[in-house]
Amino acid sequence: MITCTTLLKVRAGNESAFERLLLGLVHDVRANEPGTTLFQLVRSQTADRTYLVIEQYADKEALEFHSGTEYLKVFVPRLMPYLEEQPTLASYDPVE
């Protein structure tokens, strides 16, 4: 299992459009990636306009599949204008 997070800070006034865009990606991932066991958008309770995408992949192949999808390649350039700063990505391995 591989867990990834993406921290996103959205420009003021763009929250609704950003959420619609991201929820479209969530739908695509859930519909097309059986190796992605979790793909969820959450909003901070304490930091305005701050969101986190939480992703879990069954294995390295599932992560590589996700990274290579056409809808993700189209999504990233569409996302960037909504952001106040570059996304912060992190990857984690389970502790067993």
Q: Is the pLDDT of residue 96 over 90?
A: no
Find the CATH number of the domain harbouring 56.
3.30.70.100
What's the rounded mean pLDDT across residues 16-26?
96
Average pLDDT over residues 1-20: 97
Is the separation of the CB atoms in 58 and 1 below 8 Å? yes
pTM of the predicted structure, to 2 decimals: 0.90
Residue numbers of the domain that contains 70 = 2-92
Number of domains in the chain: 1
Tell which residue, 78, 24, 81, 82, has the closest CA to residue 51.
82
Query: What is the per-residue DSSP string for 8-72?
Result: EEBPTT-HHHHHHHHHHHHHHHHHH-TTEEEEEEEE-SSSTTEEEEEEEESSHHHHHHHHT-HHH
**Which whole number is the average pLDDT over 66-92?**
95
pLDDT tens track for 26-59: 999 999 999 999 999 999 999 999 999 999 999 9
